[in-house]
Structure formats: structure tokens, C-alpha cells
């Protein structure tokens, strides 16, 4: 076995004044001066290769001086193995440029002039001179980091942008499909056929029977006028017509009047039948009760078609037109999506909420939609043939004060631009100012680039590090 092989197995050798330790190479402190008389070291590292650094010359507990590290020399750092072993490897300082500082790996506004670890043991990330932002606020990223971050861009160009307004709505009964049963005379309910709220009834189905002395007397008057004849019958025709009109004015059903004229027999009970097919929403009738003229006894609604009323904020209502397509989602009905269109826009604004209602007619043949169910309403408004300057919505960064996009200027340089956004939908947004047609905006990893840019503010408030290279 040769001497070189034996030294390689031992892992330690002295060759031409170089110290070799586990694959990391260090020059003696006195040897650095010859080639670096005109440059200052970046920092000082423990001579044994331990992850201990200092911004100023220092000696360890054994009196061994820390080794100065220059920007063009290698840096020995321990390799964090999955097993937790103490083996180390050599990481070279990037040749992309001079290291300005080290930043927190989690994006926090914390920097250090020397390598360090955070509270979780993660190494701080080096920031090089060619990655730092300039006075314009731009940030420069190396090509390798751009690829690592997965940065993607899209062009700002003219395209049609449909405006999407998403609001909350509710299901209500179609007012045009509601009828009430309210007799125009006094009487008593002698028999109740429809005796349950929510009951489905068909058109012509009996609801209740009533007795009314007033109705019975009027029918008797008609029969007397109809039976009069000869000289005594002068004016009987007028009497018959008058009594028939009175029965109609009292709201007596046509079938009851027809029966009276056909049979010539006054009826003590009158049966009221449902004028429409639907669901009984209200039932105020009780068998045997007395009611007054105008009392609402039943309220029946046809629920095969319902309304969806949505509250739109006043600043958005100007973009909505009758006939605009609407997509309705009702969570209570298996998240079913219903297509429709705006049928009516109410002319008033609610003073408390500053909203205006819009109406959408929705079919409900299966009766799954119930009164007062909540719904999510999305109205799509568009102007045919109108193209606007637009960009992807994923490019927009909102910091609470303004909306910003990152414009790719090439060679790894990204400029933040404040923009004013107009109409938007799920994919694209109209841009009113801030960028120009043909600009390339970042649509992926833009928040990571923005965090890089925000570190410039941390540098301006940087406090001189202590002897160990850590910020106080």
C-alpha cells in the first residue's frame, strides 16, 4: 500500500501546506494573506470545520484561530444526514456573485451577514449581489433559482373578459302562482276537507263546506223571482238578474250558480273548491268556526316554478342586464347547479344593506326547492365583441393597500407594478392602468419573488451584528 493510499484512508493529509479534513480543504491562516492582501474576508469559520462562524477574527476554546473565508474560496459546512451522523461535505460559494447577506429560509424578515440557522435548525439562504433589488424596487433572480421556483409568465393582451358577480340569494314562492281563499260573506265552516298545512291539492278538489244565512236568502230570492209569472211577474226578470249578480259579487262559485238555475233548489251548504293545483301554505280554517267577510281561510301556491331573489351591491348592479345568464348553486340540494337568466331587476336599493334585488325564475317540477332556502348566485355579464386589456387573475398580488403584479424584464429581473383592476372573472381580469400590452407578468411563484423583494426593507433597518455574527 502506497503512502498516498494510506493518507487517503486516514482522511487527513498534509500536501504542500494544505490541510485536508474529510474532503474539505483549508489554507493556513498565514497562507491566505499572500493572495488576499487587497480583499476583506466575508467571515471567519472554525478551523476544524464546525458550523461556527464569526464576523471578526476569533479563536476557539483551544486557542486555534478561526479561518478567514473569502468570496472566491470554498466553504466547508457539515452535511445533515438522515441518520444524524456527523459526516460533512463541501459546499462551494456560488459563483453567481458576491454574497450580500443570508435570509430566513421561511421568508421571515430576518437576515444575517454570516451563515446561521433558525430555531428549527434550517440553514439561512444566501442572497447574492446579482439577486438583490435595485432602487426601482426590482428584484433579480438567478436562472437556476427561477427554474427551481417554477416561475411562469403570461402576456398582457387584449381578450374578452366577462364580468362575474357572485352574490347570496334565497328561494321564494312565485307571487304570480299564489291564490287565497277569502269568502266575501259571513258564515260557518260545516265541514273541512283539506285540513293539513303543506297538503297537496288539485284544481277543483273540495276544500271546505260553509253555511251562510246571507247566501241562502239570496238564493231564495232568485227562486222567488224565477217562479213569478203573468201580471205578477212584472219586473221578475230584473229581479232574477239582480240576484244572480249579487251571488257573483259574493264570490259564489260558478258551479253553484249553475246548479241553482238547473235544479231550482236553494242549497244550505256551499262547497268551496281549490282554484289551482298546488301546496297549502297557510290554513286558517277550522271545522265549525265562524268567519267574517274577507277572512283569509287558505293560501295555496303552485311550487312547480319558484323565484330566486339575489341581493346585488349597488356598485355592481350597473353591470347586470335582464337576460344575463345565471348559475345557481343550492347547498341543501346536493350542490345542484341550476342555469337561468335574470328576469327582473328591482328599481329600489335597500337602505340598510345598500343592495338591489334581482329575480331569477327557476323550474321546480320535483319540488326539491323550498321556500327560503339559501342559494349562491353567479351572474355573468358581458358585452359582445368587446376586448379589453387583461391579465390572468393569478398574477395579482393584493397586500391590502394596493394590487401589484410582477413584470418580467428579462435576465432574471422582475419589477413590481401597481395596477388598477376593472372587470374580472375566475380566470382573467381587466387592467385599467399599471402595465402595457405585451408585458410578461408572473403567474406562478410570484408570491415567492415578492418575498425576495420585501427583504430589501429588512436591509435598510439592518443592525450591526454582534461578535458571533448574529443580530441582537
pLDDT tens-digit readout, 212-259: 999 999 999 888 888 875 445 555 668 888 888 999 999 888 888 899
| Number of domains the chain is built from | 4
| Average pLDDT over all residues of the chain | 78
Please check whether residue 403 lies inside any domain of the structure. Answer: yes
Both 171 and 262 in one domain: the answer is no
| CA–CA distances in Å: residue 39 to residues 33, 67, 140, 355 | 9, 15, 25, 69
Q: According to the model, what pLDDT value does residue 305 have?
A: 95
Domain boundary among the residues 295, 325, 354 is at 295
**What's the pLDDT at 59?**
85
pLDDT confidence of residue 472? 41
| Domain co-membership, 402 together with 346 | no
Domain end: 340, 363, 381, which one? 381
369 in the same domain as 231? no
How many contiguous H segments (helices) and E segments (strands) does the chain have?
A: 7, 34
Section 17-32 average pLDDT: 41
Task: Select from 49, 68, 93 the last residue of a domain.
Answer: 93
The least confident of 112-116, 362-366, 400-404, 462-466 is 462-466
Reported pTM: 0.52
Length of the chain: 472
Same domain for 358 and 309:
yes
- pLDDT for 276 equals 92
The phi and psi torsions of 346 (rounded to 5 degrees) equal -70, 145
Contacts of 114 (CB under 8 A, 6+ apart): 42, 43, 53, 54, 55, 102, 465, 469
331 band by pLDDT with thresholds 50, 70 and 90: confident
pLDDT digits over 407-443, tens only? 998 888 888 889 998 877 778 888 999 999 999 999 9
- CB count within 10 Å of CB 75 equals 20
Do 310 and 260 share a structural domain? no
User: pLDDT tens digits for 112-158?
Assistant: 888 888 888 888 887 766 555 555 567 777 777 777 778 889 999 98
Q: Are residues 201 and 268 located together in one domain of the fold? A: yes
Residue 82 scores a pLDDT above 50? no
Based on the fold, state whether residues 157 and 168 are members of the same structural domain. Answer: no
Identify whether 313 is part of a domain.
yes
Task: Provide the pLDDT confidence category of residue 355 given band limits of 50, 70 and 90.
Answer: very high
What CATH number did the domain enclosing 374 receive?
2.40.30.170
Cell digits for 433?
392602468
316 and 371, same domain (yes or no):
yes
Instruction: Report percent pLDDT > 90 for the chain.
Output: 37
pLDDT at 356: 95
Q: Is 48 helix (H, G, I), strand (E, B) or coil?
A: coil
Q: What is the pLDDT of residues 365-380, one digit of tens each?
A: 989 999 999 999 999 8
**Lowest-confidence pick of 16-25, 266-275, 362-371:** 16-25
Examine residue 107 and state whether it is found in any structural domain, yes or no. Answer: no
Is 332 a member of any domain?
yes
Q: Which domain holds residue 268?
A: 186-295
On the question of pLDDT at 361 being above 70, the answer is yes
For residues 444-457, average pLDDT: 65
Residue 253, all three cell numbers? 262559485
Query: Do the domain assignments include residue 206?
Result: yes
Residue 126 domain-assigned (yes or no): no
pLDDT of 71 reads 59
Give the C-alpha separation, 269 to 17, whole Å. Answer: 125
Q: Is residue 434 part of a domain?
A: yes
The Cα–Cα gap between 176 and 104 comes to 65
Whether the predicted pLDDT of 20 surpasses 70 = no
Residue 466: pLDDT band with limits 50, 70, 90: very low
Looking at residues 3-8, what average pLDDT do you find? 41
C-alpha span between 149 and 138 (Å, rounded): 17
Least confident of 307-311, 336-340, 376-380: 336-340
Task: Look at residue 61 in the predicted model and tell me its pLDDT.
Answer: 80
Over pLDDT 70: what percentage of the chain?
Answer: 75
Task: Judge if 311 and 374 occupy the same domain.
Answer: yes
pLDDT grade, residue 315 (50/70/90)? Answer: confident
Residue 28 has a pLDDT of 46
Q: Which pLDDT band holds residue 184 (cuts at 50, 70, 90)?
A: very high
Q: Are residues 168 and 195 in the same domain?
A: no
Are residues 413 and 353 in contact, defined by beta-carbon separation less than 8 angstroms? no
Is residue 352, in this structure, part of any structural domain at all?
Answer: yes
pLDDT greater than 70 at residue 7: no
431 CA to centre of own chain: 20
Q: Is it the case that residue 66 has pLDDT exceeding 70?
A: yes
**Do 171 and 315 reside in the same domain of the chain?**
yes
Asked whether the beta carbons of 440 and 405 are under 8 A apart, the reply is no
Is beta strand 88-91 parallel, antiparallel or unpaired with respect to 99-103?
A: unpaired
Contact between 310 and 169 under an 8 Å Cβ cutoff? The reply is yes
Q: Do 407 and 367 sit in the same domain of this protein?
A: no
Please list, in sequence order, all residues whose beta carbon lies within 8 angstroms of the beta carbon of residue 293, skipping any fewer than 6 positions away.
183, 184, 185, 186
Domain CATH for 155: 2.40.420.20
253 contacts 272 by C-beta, under 8 angstroms: yes
Picking from 67, 70, 66, the residue whose alpha carbon sits closest to that of residue 40 is 70
Helix then strand then coil, % of the chain, to nearest 5: 20, 35, 45
Amino acid at each position: 500500500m502506497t503512502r498516498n493510499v494510506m493518507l487517503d484512508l486516514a482522511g487527513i493529509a498534509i500536501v504542500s501546506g494544505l490541510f485536508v479534513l474529510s474532503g474539505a480543504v483549508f489554507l493556513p491562516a498565514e497562507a491566505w494573506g499572500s493572495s488576499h492582501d487587497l480583499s476583506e474576508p466575508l467571515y471567519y469559520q472554525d478551523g476544524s470545520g464546525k458550523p461556527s462562524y464569526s464576523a471578526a477574527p476569533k479563536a476557539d476554546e483551544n486557542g486555534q484561530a478561526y479561518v478567514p473565508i473569502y468570496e472566491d474560496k470554498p466553504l466547508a459546512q457539515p452535511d445533515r444526514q438522515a441518520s444524524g451522523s456527523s459526516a460533512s461535505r463541501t459546499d462551494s460559494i456560488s459563483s453567481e456573485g458576491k454574497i450580500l447577506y443570508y435570509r430566513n429560509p421561511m421568508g421571515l424578515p430576518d437576515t444575517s451577514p454570516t451563515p446561521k440557522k433558525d430555531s428549527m435548525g434550517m440553514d439561512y439562504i444566501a442572497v447574492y449581489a446579482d439577486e438583490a433589488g435595485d432602487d426601482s424596487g426590482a428584484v433579480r433572480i438567478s436562472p437556476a433559482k427561477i427554474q427551481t421556483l417554477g416561475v411562469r409568465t403570461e402576456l398582457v393582451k387584449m381578450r374578452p373578459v366577462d364580468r362575474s358577480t357572485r352574490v347570496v340569494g334565497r328561494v321564494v314562492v312565485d307571487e304570480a302562482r299564489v291564490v287565497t281563499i277569502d269568502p266575501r260573506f259571513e258564515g260557518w265552516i260545516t265541514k273541512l276537507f283539506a285540513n293539513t298545512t303543506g297538503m297537496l291539492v288539485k284544481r277543483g278538489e273540495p276544500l271546505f263546506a260553509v253555511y251562510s244565512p246571507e247566501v241562502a236568502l239570496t238564493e231564495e230570492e232568485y227562486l222567488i223571482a224565477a217562479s213569478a209569472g203573468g201580471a205578477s211577474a212584472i219586473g221578475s226578470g230584473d229581479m232574477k238578474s239582480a240576484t244572480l249578480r249579487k251571488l257573483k259579487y259574493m264570490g259564489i262559485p260558478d258551479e253553484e250558480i249553475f246548479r241553482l238555475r238547473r235544479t231550482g233548489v236553494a242549497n244550505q251548504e256551499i262547497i268551496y273548491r281549490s282554484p289551482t293545483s298546488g301546496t297549502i301554505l297557510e290554513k286558517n280554517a277550522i271545522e265549525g268556526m265562524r268567519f267574517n267577510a274577507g277572512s283569509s281561510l287558505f293560501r295555496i301556491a303552485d311550487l312547480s316554478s319558484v323565484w330566486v331573489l339575489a341581493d346585488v351591491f349597488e356598485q355592481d348592479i350597473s353591470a347586470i342586464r335582464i337576460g344575463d345568464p345565471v348559475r345557481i348553486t343550492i347547498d341543501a340540494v346536493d350542490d345542484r347547479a341550476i342555469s337561468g337568466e335574470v328576469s327582473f331587476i328591482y328599481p329600489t336599493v335597500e337602505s340598510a344593506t345598500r343592495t338591489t334585488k334581482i329575480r331569477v325564475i327557476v323550474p321546480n317540477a320535483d319540488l326539491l326547492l323550498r321556500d327560503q332556502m339559501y342559494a349562491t348566485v353567479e351572474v355573468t355579464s358581458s358585452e359582445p365583441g368587446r376586448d379589453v386589456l387583461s391579465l390572468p387573475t393569478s398574477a395579482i398580488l393584493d397586500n391590502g393597500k394596493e394590487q401589484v403584479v410582477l413584470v418580467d424584464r428579462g435576465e432574471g429581473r422582475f419589477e413590481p407594478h401597481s395596477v388598477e383592476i376593472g372587470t374580472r372573472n375566475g380566470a382573467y381580469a381587466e387592467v385599467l392602468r399599471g402595465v402595457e400590452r405585451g408585458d410578461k407578468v408572473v403567474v406562478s411563484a410570484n408570491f415567492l419573488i415578492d418575498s425576495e423583494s420585501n427583504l430589501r426593507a429588512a436591509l435598510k433597518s439592518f443592525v450591526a451584528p454582534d461578535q458571533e455574527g448574529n443580530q441582537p
